[in-house]
Amino acid sequence: ILAASSLSCIKNKTWSPYDKIMISLSSSRLTLHSWTTMDFFVSIFYKPFYYKENTYMVSKIIFAFLSYSSLWFGAWLSLFYCIKVASFTQSFFIWMKQRIARLMPWMLLTSWLCSVTAAIPFAWDVYRVHNNFTAPSTITNSSARRTTTKETLPVLILCNATIIMPLIL
């Protein structure tokens, strides 16, 4: 899809809204899958390097950014097709149908910025989320457990608030 859309843009020397969305979506998905595969191999074969603070943090930030970007671009593709196919007579819908081509670059840029905003909290809180585990208590019976948690609610709310909009779209 990425190659076909890119060739279409090169041949025609114009970027249709569909091509912009498809290039954004397919490149983010291709990058996400490549990153996930590379991350998997690094976590297995270079375990000491992978679990150093900066490597693990950067890995999770990039994964979150790529995941959120793919979600946003998929939402824009759905919205674009809905506007093009449906025939409502509501004034906002007609206005949107006439201006979707001009708004598309701004919509893609906004979604990219929202993805960056949603991925940044992982830099602050990735270790707290990673360290939430249940450990056996050394003082009591081994079946008794104590939970070590740290406050992550504000970060979870911030991360999830940025993905609610594409899901609503």
pLDDT in tens, 38-64: 988 888 888 777 777 677 788 888 998
Rounded Cα distance, 12 and 5, in Å: 11
Residue 8 resides in a domain = no
Structural domain includes residue 53 = yes
Contacts of 81 (CB under 8 A, 6+ apart): none
List the beta bridge partners of residue 134.
147
Establish if 43 belongs to a structural domain. yes
Mean pLDDT, the chain, rounded, equals 79
136 occurs within a structural domain: no
Question: Residue 136 phi/psi, 5° resolution?
Answer: -65, 140
- Exposed, middle or buried by CB within 10 Å (0-12, 13-18, 19+), for 101? middle
Residue range 91-103: mean pLDDT, rounded: 85
Q: What is the pLDDT of residues 100-143, one digit of tens each?
A: 888 888 999 999 998 888 888 777 754 454 444 454 545 555 55
Predicted confidence at residue 151, as pLDDT, reads 54
Confidence of residue 71 (pLDDT cuts 50, 70, 90): very high
Q: Is residue 169 part of a domain?
A: no
pLDDT at 165: 82
- How many independent structural domains does the chain possess? 1
The pTM for the full model equals: 0.74
* Any domain includes 117: yes
What is the pLDDT, as a whole number, of residue 155? 67
* Domain assignment of residue 103, given as a range: 25-130+147-163
pLDDT for 136: 52
pLDDT confidence of 73, banded at 50, 70, 90? very high
* 86 domain residue, yes or no: yes
Read off the pLDDT band of 66 (50, 70, 90): very high
Q: What is the mean pLDDT of residues 77-101?
A: 85
Residue 79 neighbours by CB under 8 Å, 6+ apart: 169
For residue 141, being part of any structural domain is answered with no
Q: How far is CA 126 from the centre of its chain?
A: 16
Burial (CB count within 10 angstroms: exposed 0-12, middle 13-18, buried 19+), residue 24: buried
